[in-house]
Amino acid sequence: MMLLAPMALWFLVIGGAVVALYLLKIKRRAATVPVLEFWLALAGKTRVHSLFDRLKRLLSMLLWLIIVICLVLAIGNPIFSLGRIKPRAIAVIIDNSASMQAVEPASESRTRFDLARQALREISGNRPVTDEWMLIEAGREPRVLQPWTFDTAAIRRAGDAVEPFSGAAKLHDAIELASQLIAGKQDPCIVIISDGAAGELAPLTAADDRLIHWPIGTTHDNAGIGQLAVRAHRQNGNYHALISVVNASDEPLETQVTLEIDGRTDSVELVSAEPGGTWEKSIVIDAPAGGVLRASLDRADALAVDNEAFAILEPIRPAVVWLVTPTDSAFFFEQALASMDPLVWAEESLTLTPEQYPAASAAAAAPDSSLKRPDLVIFNGWAPDALPAVGRFMVVNACPAELGSPAGEALASPQIHLAPRAHPLMQHVSLQGSRLAKANRITLRQPGRVLAHSAEGDPLIALIEQPERQTLLLTFDVLDSDLPFRNAFPLLLRNTVSFMHEDAPSWLRPAYRLGETIRPSRALPAGTTEAKLTLLRGGTTQESSVPVVNGSFALTQTHHTGAVRLEIGDDAAFAAMNIGDAAESRIAPVNATEDHAAKLGLSRRLLGGMPWLMLAMFASLAVVLEWLTYHFRWTE
Amino acid sequence: MSVVSSKPDLPVMGQSPVGGRPRASKGPLFDPSFLQRLETLNLIARQLVRGRRSAARPSIKKGASIEFKDYREYSPGDDPRSVDWMAFARLGELYIKLFRQEEELDLWVLLDRSASMDFGDPSKFDHARRIAAALAYIGLGNMDSASILPFDTDLRTGLERMRGKGQVMRLMKFMEDMTIGAETGFEKTAQMFVSRVRRPGIVVIISDFYGLQKARAGLDRLRFAKHQVHVVQVVSPWERNPPLRGELRLHDAETGEETNLTITDSMLKRYKTAFQAFTTDLRKYAMRSSIGFDLTDTDVEFDEFVRHVLQHGRLLA
């Protein structure tokens, strides 16, 4: 037996005091009574001073000594080891991931995380004081919460200070960190207090004997939104949302998921999934103005945090297209672009002659210009010698000198061969059997991707992508072919507008995982000192500001699902925060295959309870026994 | 009828609240007003005795007096002076004339002087001596004789058959000189008394009557000897509510025995109940046995008690 608080032995002095008190008690005060028999009859005793009478006093003193010893030992928090328990270095990894927020009905509706903290107290309270301890948090980025210490109280305090994390745990990284830190320690082991992380732990503990999985949780009942992804479909002016629901329970799932945009219900989808299965659906959302999409699952289960997910619907802005072409060949392109509503912003698009282009380009670049800057400039039959350094361009039947140079005679009746690798620009475009009267033979001066070429390998359609510029080259005259009579060219033109139309880059990514620190994807404008932050969580908004230092910031308030809106000057950026890991919804605990308490070497229980508690109960029983024996005069 | 204290049962001042023996008071047994108080009691007693004189104690025995009662036939050995010679002259047979014998009314006060009486403040012994002296004084003035016999283990020498109030100073001197004895042996005392006093009289026993079973045997013996028995039980507030708590070594005042005892509140409560039952049992026994019974507390003045006994009791009936 060891005492975790050996200082309690000082209280054994009380035992000496008890003996002293009994010695004093033996010196009774004398009193004379008229007749003794009267009192003896009441006391139910004879005049005989038997040995038993004296033993009765000893019994009373013995009971009080037992009470004192039990209490002292209880304060000392003993552990019973029978020689098994040896001092060792114990690195405890506490799993505070989203699945650990599952409520356990069998444990008075406490969360698994609460049970994990309780387990930490139990572990640290049933080991010798000579153990060395360390605590590591597995959520977010694994980090050491309490460095090596012999103070178990510090470990318990650190455990109590751990915050639950709504994201996915990184148990593997935490174990790696712990493995590095236990090197060179005496009889080291790593205790992982976790629900098993959907089976992630089992192979790890099987491979490393130093790992001890301390299982937490019993319930399976959960269904959650495993994924919510949104993609803007510019050509149709809508969004495609992919939503998946994980059914981790043992019962078939029949429920519904509600999609809201900025708090307004957009649609309700019925969800049906077998036990352990997944329900997925792609949903078309028609909301060109964009907004915050919230998907919520209508089901009360053990884990609430995965019953909602957020996504950002970036507003779909139509593309501004400038057509620079000689007047006599503009009709076909204009008709093709006019048919691309809402992909092309007809009101802001322009048709220019080559002579008008320089002036218009300069006007659009002016700060207060009423002209919208073009998302795509189509040069047909003419192109400047040098394209602007930034922008998206389609050059038809021409070639700027910087991109390519003539390579000899024009190709006569070239046959179109598509490149074997598909490209978004060529999606649904069928050029098979198209006839070209001729094509320019050019040699590319910049590395580019040839999307179509002649039989001799000369590029006919090529995409040249540079850091700030994209250019699609067509080396033939569209009107000098049968393309105007086919669907292929309008499709190619639509693909080009859609592919090359790009919104201004956002300061944020569309979505972040919970716990992930949000940083700007590019440097903020110089002189920015703060960004206004709006957090949307469960229908409520919280506004605050984030300090900006050296054009960057770090937003760490990402522990809850929701959306974030960041205002930087006149610009605004949105991002969604979700769990980002469907495995967290699968909360079914993985039970340890071994006796984790025995492997760790915890104190044996005393009559099924904690030793200190049972000793305190013994002391209480002894007090009652002493009172009864005294009351019924079995002791004096 | 018992006379008990109207005072609350509080520990007596001057004695140890826990343990120890309550000591007898050190003051004089008879103060200057004692005789005056006795005379007052005597006047009360005289009035009572005169009122009852006409029915006062005619003897059922036949003896030598002037009041004729009956005849009987002569038998050899009879006193020839009692032969009715006139009847012999008329009838020719010898008849003896029988006269009602006049019986003297004797008061016997048996005073317990055992060690158990040396309790309380004033002590039961002092209180008992004052009562005994008062009763004896009344007996001197209103009865044929009064006697005081102390007893403990057996009957001790006392003042027997005092006649006339002139004996009062002797009585008081005797009472003052009386000392505490040893254990109580009332059965033996009664046996000795009956053997010594054959003529029935009024026997007043003043005692605490501890050991009631043995006391009953002695009282029965007195009853069977035709004595008119009256008991006066003396208790002290200390006995009603002993200030004893905790771990004590109890010392028996009479036997000197000692025992260790832990007295708890519950035990003290049971003691009070048992003490009440003890006095009640004695009273019930007295009622069943036609024995006069009175209970007196030591914190009640002796003359108040005696007056009460005279006016309401059967002592002079």
- Let me know: does A416 contact A434? Beta carbons within 8 Å: yes
Instruction: Determine the Cα–Cα distance for residues B281 and B219; give it in Å rounded to an integer.
Output: 14
Q: pLDDT 10s per residue in chain B (317 long)? A: 333 333 333 233 233 333 344 444 456 777 777 777 877 777 777 766 555 443 344 444 455 555 677 888 888 888 888 888 888 899 888 888 887 655 567 889 999 998 888 888 788 999 999 999 998 988 888 777 889 999 988 889 999 888 888 888 898 899 889 988 888 888 889 999 999 888 888 899 999 888 767 788 889 999 998 888 999 999 999 888 888 888 788 888 888 888 878 788 888 888 899 899 989 999 999 999 889 899 999 988 888 888 888 777 666 55
Long-range contacts of A628-631 (CB under 8 A, 24+ apart): A629/A59, A629/A60, A629/A63, A630/A60, A630/B262, A630/B264, A631/B264, A631/B266
Which of B253, B262, B278 has its CB closest to that of A33? B253
Specify the pLDDT at position B100: 62
Alpha-carbon distances, residue B241 vs A390, B39, B120, B237, B273 (angstroms): 114, 34, 11, 6, 11
Strands A530-537 and A540-547: antiparallel
Specify the pLDDT at position A198: 59
Binding-site residues on chain B for chain A (CB distance < 8 A): 16, 18-21, 115-117, 119, 208, 210-211, 239, 242, 244, 246-255, 257-264, 266-267, 270-271, 274-275, 278
Tokens of A222: 């959960």
Low-confidence ranges of chain A (pLDDT < 50): 46-48
Residue A171 parent element (H or E): helix A171-181
DSSP string, B251-289: EETTT--EEEEEE-HHHHHHHHHHHHHHHHHHHHHHHHT
- Let me know: does A127 contact A602? Beta carbons within 8 Å: yes
Helix, strand, coil share of chain B (percent; to 5): 40, 25, 35
DSSP string, B146-178: EEEEEESSSB---EEEE-SGGGHHHHHHHHHH-
Contact: A35, B253; criterion CB under 8 Å: yes
Tokens of A162: 């751990």
Q: Using an 8 Å CB-CB cutoff, list chain A residues near B116.
A: 34-35
**How many other CB atoms sit within 10 Å of the CB of residue A225?**
24
Angle at the Cα of B230 from the Cα atoms of B226 and B233, rounded to 5 degrees: 145
The label of the residue with tokens 């004997």 reads A209
**DSSP-assigned letter for residue B23:** P
Alpha-carbon distances, residue B64 vs B75, B76, B83 (angstroms): 18, 19, 13
Instruction: Determine the Cα–Cα distance for residues A161 and A121; give it in Å rounded to an integer.
Output: 13
Instruction: Determine the Cα–Cα distance for residues A564 and A574; give it in Å rounded to an integer.
Output: 6
- Let me know: does A534 contact A564? Beta carbons within 8 Å: yes
Alpha-carbon distances, residue A463 vs A446, A477, A505, B44, B279 (angstroms): 10, 17, 21, 149, 127
Q: What is the average pLDDT value for chain A, to the nearest integer?
A: 83
Instruction: Determine the Cα–Cα distance for residues B313 and B317; give it in Å rounded to an integer.
Output: 8
- Three-class SS state of A226: strand
- Let me know: does A214 contact A127? Beta carbons within 8 Å: no
- Let me know: does A508 contact A534? Beta carbons within 8 Å: no
**DSSP-assigned letter for residue A582:** G
Q: Using an 8 Å CB-CB cutoff, list chain A residues near B259.
A: 36, 39-40, 45, 47, 49
Burial of residue A502, with CB atoms counted within 10 A of its CB: 0-12 exposed, 13-18 middle, 19 or more buried? exposed
Contact: A32, B242; criterion CB under 8 Å: no
- Let me know: does A473 contact A460? Beta carbons within 8 Å: no
- Let me know: does A213 contact A205? Beta carbons within 8 Å: yes
- Three-class SS state of A380: strand
Q: Using an 8 Å CB-CB cutoff, list chain A residues near B275.
A: 38
Which of B117, B208, B249 has its CB closest to that of A29? B249
Q: Residue A85 carries which side chain, given as an amino acid letter?
A: I
Contact: B260, A31; criterion CB under 8 Å: no
Q: To probe the interface with A, which of B125, B249, B255, B265 has the most A CB atoms within 10 Å?
A: B249
Specify the pLDDT at position B3: 37
Which of A34, A47, A53 has its CB closest to that of B239? A34
Contact: B18, A31; criterion CB under 8 Å: yes
Instruction: Determine the Cα–Cα distance for residues A490 and A341; give it in Å rounded to an integer.
Output: 13
